[in-house]
Amino acid sequence: MSLISTPRRDVAWIGRFSALLRYGVLIGVGLIMLYPLFWMVAASFKPNHEIFGSVSLWPQDPTMDGVVKGWRTGTEYSFATYLLNSFAFIMPKVVLTVVSSVLVAYGFARFRMPGKQLWFALMVATILLPKSVLLIPQYLMFREFGWLDTYLPLYVPCAFATDGFFVFMVVQFLRGIPPDMEEAAVIDGCNSLQVLWHVVVPVIMPAIISVALFQFMWSLNDFLYPLIYLSSVGKYPVALALKMAIDVTEATAWNQVLAMSTIALLPSLIVFFLAQKYFVEGITSGSVKG
Amino acid sequence: MAKGRVLLRGVTKCFGAVDVIKGVDLEIAPGELTVFVGPSGCGKSTLLRLVSGLELPTGGSIMIGDRDVTLVHPSERGIAMVFQSYALYPHMSVAENMGFGLKIAGLPKPLIKEKVAKAAEILQLTPLLDRKPRALSGGQRQRVAIGRCIVREPEVFLFDEPLSNLDAALRGQMRVEIARLHAKLGATMIYVTHDQVEAMTLATRIVVLNAGRIEQIGAPIELYRHPANLFVAGFIGSPAMNFMDGIVEAVETNSVSVRLNGATLRLPRHDAAVKPGAKVTVGIRPEHFRVGPTPADMDDDQAVEFDAIIDLVERLGGETLAHLRMPSLSDGVLVVKISGDVPLRIGTGLRVGIRLAQCHLFDADGRAVGEPAARAVVAA
Amino acid sequence: MYDNRVSGYLYIAPFLIGLATFTLFPFLASFLLSFSDYQLQDPVEQARFLGLGNYTQMAGDDTFHGSLGVTFLYVFITVPLKLAFALFIAFVLNFKLRGIGFFRTAYYVPSILGGSVAIAVLWRYVFAGDGLINQVLVWAGGEPLNWLGEPAYALFTVVLLRLWQFGSAMVVFLAGLQNIPTDLYEAATIDGAGKARIFFTITLPLLTPVIFFNFIMQIVQAFQEFNGPYIITGGGPLKSTYLLPLMIYEEAFKYFNVGYAAALSWVLFLIIALFTIIAFASAKYWVFYGNEREDGE
Ligand SMILES: Nc1ncnc2c1ncn2[C@@H]1O[C@H](COP(=O)(O)OP(=O)(O)O)[C@@H](O)[C@H]1O
Ligand SMILES: [Mg+2]
């Protein structure tokens, strides 16, 4: 690998050629990766006939028609309603996930207790457990609770650290931090909850942000759970609204649907670009540092 | 009355099935700077953490001052601790770090500020009070960690290898600062280190630990002069003491004759509890050999000379370590410390003298034999 | 660190409650349901014990056989391709080239968005009759294909959607690559090892833990694929994209055959469990844990 710098000319030439090759591959793949996204954004501002008519990205005849109609949607609610609905369950979901994951991870990472290995192993196992095996009984259970067509089934479980992945992520992060600081805080008079609040939480803030961001993104993408639990259109989140849009919009009104998709992706994109490093840190913490 | 006294009685600690501390009895007088020293993994940190309350003992009791604190929360024991990693809170400023304990205790802000300012004054941290730990050098962080202790006005300061993350120059400087701080505050301090030089220079008293047990307790000079056993003899002093295997030939009221490889040494010992024929070990410190003509003040009874062949020479500048073969004493190579830069050539011969009074004698179990038992109190 | 086991259990109490309520209980309940004829609209008390009825029904159910086949096909194509591609790009990226950060971001974006319905919707239009792909094909002088209507191609569109999201696996590979100490490469170069040799004797062995992690995650994910086929093709045409999770959903919530759906979900669970167990059992033969660390708690 190009670790040892080589001043010799012939080698430098090979180096440059290989760099060129690499850039070629990277740019080619990057283009394929991003083109559909650009096409989607561009199509939102094209009249329909132009979407079918040309491969070109730039709209020759730009129009806001798709965006406006898409925002209005074919239903009695505007897209704003669906966006707000999404946030209505995502916000509690994110908060509950963060709080419960941190508490549980702290317990696992910092306390000696009998049976810990077993519980930890079970926690990791739940990460691998397919959700569909739990889906039906959970549905029946929430039906018994009278929670159908509410957001409760979507976020209440998060208060109980049901996403083992996040607990695992925080545990891994905590294991990388020597406990000295927390011991200093104990000597300074903190009980374990004060240690958590005054010392651990500030120190593991990057992990906490990662958890919040991932949960935010994944919840925006949530489809199956809203699909089975929500029945009134007025409570639909964006994901369901989009699915409904492709079913009810006239088959030719592509620009509306694609404009809606673009808008639907905006929150994720904005969050991702504002906080990119937390995603990379988060996804790698569970796999590499372990 | 006994403010600052620390008393451990029969303290043991097991982690699962592993016995880490195997029964420690220790009394530390108020105002002493006691150093726990021993090889890595011998349980020094564990013992210190038992005193701090970060670990609870499996057995035994711990008293600080007049209180039994065996089960008392660390913050209520009247202790403060400096960690090897400093353990400063990265998100708090120096002032907040130092005042955190007082804040948790619910002291009013102006009082906290006053106490922090006073401690910062002592440690010359005043200009740094608003900085975050990551903007400080290693030595400064160390001082903040100490400052955090001072603010708490503890009965007992605990240090766990506080200098081992610093470079050599800074370590020497901080060592002096800690000694000065001890003189100034007059508080009881317990200091853990694996570095016997640190132990010798800082301590009022040294506790030598090995494998979870106390090997010997005493003033630095006492441990140096009268190590109670082979372990302490080998651990204290640098370079380490030379050991030679021997067999007791004769025991008299005032001496023990030991046959080494070739020679027989008649070591002065009172009431030595060994029998002729017993296996023993004789120890001599490298600095107790003499090279060159025997000074006139040595009478023949005390000094003996041997032939040696130079095996290797390490020159340290001010002094020289010569690795010598002395077949009459031992099969192995003995290290001899010679002050100055004497011309020495590998392979050449040499006359080396020792004083019998400076030889140490240990029985087959590694315990010191005879005279050291009647130890004189050595003022530190 | 703390010996206080009571507070330790207090901290993990939320997890224990959640585990019992939202995982273990449903897990066992679906097992029991799988032996019943329970219908979604009925009160739970009306469920009748069927014995192995649902499982024998499965044995003769062509839809199930088809779904199972499609599921395996999907997993066996998607997972290896995705891992190989992610690894390849990670290698290309693991050089001190300028602009690496940009490319890493560009490749990662689809993974972040990819699970969303919006992207599945986009995919549907990209592969539609007049969609982007066919436009490009025509523009390049080829024949347009009926991607979504032709059973032979439809699964391929779903596979492509997931391949398009190789980014998260790639980021993990990249971190793994960057975790390999450079002095190992330097030592090997001084020892006279060529590039290929270095790759096979140093890079690959040291990367196996990361490969293992990615493999498990991707397998588990792929077997649970739902959004893609549900939105892009609805399971069709001719059930050519009717993956098992889709069938479970429809049996339960469209046809109300909860008992049968539960049995299907248990089959899916057993398949995933089997793969996971095989992977973990085989790990000791091929996963290299160099600096194994004692858990010093
Ligand atoms: N929390 C713990 N759990 C298990 N073993 C421990 C723990 N803390 C220390 N030990 C073991 O106890 C022994 C003594 O450790 P320590 O007191 O840290 O030694 P040192 O003298 O180097 O400070 C070591 O063998 C260490 O592995
Ligand atoms: Mg230690």
Nearest CA in chain A to C168: A283
| A36 shares contact with chain B (CB less than 8 Å) | no
Owner of token pair 């290896």 = C80
Give the pLDDT score at B147.
92
Confidence band of B273 (pLDDT split at 50, 70, 90):
confident
Owner of token pair 């109490």 = C13
Confidence band of C15 (pLDDT split at 50, 70, 90):
very high
Q: What's this model's pTM, rounded to 2 decimal places? A: 0.86
CATH number of the domain residue A175 falls in: 1.10.3720.10
Give CA torsion, residues B13, B19, B25, B27, to 10 deg. -50
Mean per-residue pLDDT, C37-43:
85
Burial (CB < 10 A; 0-12, 13-18, 19+), residue C13, is middle
CB contact under 8 A, C92 and A25: yes
Confidence band of C91 (pLDDT split at 50, 70, 90):
confident
Burial (CB < 10 A; 0-12, 13-18, 19+), residue A227, is buried
Assigned domain for A4 exists: no
User: Is C226 within 8 Å of A228 (Cβ atoms)?
Assistant: no
Largest CA distance in chain C: 75
Interface of A with C in 209-238 (CB under 8 A): 217-218, 220-221, 223-224, 228, 238
- Would the pLDDT of A167 be above 60? yes
| Residue of A133, A230, A231, A238 to mutate when probing chain C, most C C-beta within 10 A | A133
CB contact under 8 A, C168 and A283: yes
Give CA torsion, residues C21, C24, C27, C31, to 10 deg. -110
Confidence band of B379 (pLDDT split at 50, 70, 90):
very low
- State whether A173 and A30 are in the same domain: no
CA of B46 to the centre of ligand 1 (A): 6
Domain ranges for chain B: 6-235, 242-379
The answer, yes or no, to whether any atom of ligand 1 lies below 6 A from the CB of B290, is no
Q: Which amino acid is at C41?
A: Q
Full domain range(s) for residue A62: 9-66
CA of A232 to the centre of ligand 1 (A): 61
State the complex-level ipTM: 0.87
- Residue C134, classed as helix, strand or coil, is helix
C159-212 per-position pLDDT tens digit: 999 999 888 888 888 888 888 888 888 888 888 777 888 888 888 888 888 899
- Nearest by Cα to C15 from A208, A128, A162: A162
Confidence band of B330 (pLDDT split at 50, 70, 90):
confident
Give the pLDDT score at B357.
84
- State whether A110 and A132 are in the same domain: yes
| Separation between Cα atoms, residue B150 and residue B181, nearest integer Å | 10
- State whether A29 and A101 are in the same domain: no
Q: Which fold has domain C62-119+161-296?
A: MetI-like fold (1.10.3720)
Question: Kind and range of the H or E element at B68?
Answer: strand B67-68
Assigned domain for A290 exists: no
| Separation between Cα atoms, residue B307 and residue B353, nearest integer Å | 9
**Are B6-235 and B242-379 in the same CATH fold?**
no
Give the pLDDT score at B371.
59
- State whether A163 and A260 are in the same domain: yes
Burial (CB < 10 A; 0-12, 13-18, 19+), residue C60, is exposed
DSSP B367: B
Domain tally, chain A: 2
Give the pLDDT score at A282.
66
> Nearest-CA distance from C54 to chain A in Å?
15
| Separation between Cα atoms, residue A223 and residue A86, nearest integer Å | 11
CB contact under 8 A, A112 and C214: no
Q: Which amino acid is at B92?
A: M
B37-70 per-position pLDDT tens digit: 999 999 999 999 999 999 999 999 999 999 999 9
Q: Which fold has domain B242-379?
A: OB fold (Dihydrolipoamide Acetyltransferase, E2P) (2.40.50)
Give the pLDDT score at C295.
38
Q: Quick count: other Cβ atoms within 10 Å of Cβ C139?
A: 11
User: Is B244 within 8 Å of B220 (Cβ atoms)?
Assistant: no
Nearest CA in chain A to B102: A188
| B104 shares contact with chain A (CB less than 8 Å) | yes
- Nearest by Cα to B82 from B5, B154, B183: B154
Total CB pairs under 8 A between chain A and B: 60
CB contact under 8 A, C132 and A264: no
Give the pLDDT score at A198.
94
- Residue A141, classed as helix, strand or coil, is helix
CB contact under 8 A, A136 and C261: yes
Domain ranges for chain C: 62-119+161-296
Interface of A with C in 73-92 (CB under 8 A): none
Give the pLDDT score at A2.
44
Assigned domain for A1 exists: no
Assigned domain for A3 exists: no
- State whether A131 and A157 are in the same domain: yes
A38-84 per-position pLDDT tens digit: 888 888 888 877 777 766 778 777 777 778 887 877 778 888 899 99
Give the pLDDT score at B297.
59
Q: What are the b/e assignments for C19-42, b being 16+ CB within 10 Å? A: bebbbeebbebbbebbbbbbebee
B119-176 per-position pLDDT tens digit: 999 888 999 999 999 999 888 999 999 999 999 889 999 999 998 888 888 888 889 9
The chain-wide mean pLDDT, for chain A, equals 85
Give the pLDDT score at C136.
83
Nearest CA in chain A to B146: A184
| Separation between Cα atoms, residue C19 and residue C26, nearest integer Å | 10
Q: Does domain B6-235 have CATH number 3.90.1150.10?
A: no
User: Is A51 within 8 Å of A28 (Cβ atoms)?
Assistant: no
Count each helix (H run) and each strand (E run) in chain A, helices first. 16, 0
DSSP code string of A61-82: S--SHHHHHHHH-SSSS-HHHH
The answer, yes or no, to whether any atom of ligand 1 lies below 6 A from the CB of B15, is yes
Give the pLDDT score at A275.
82
Mean per-residue pLDDT, A122-131:
90
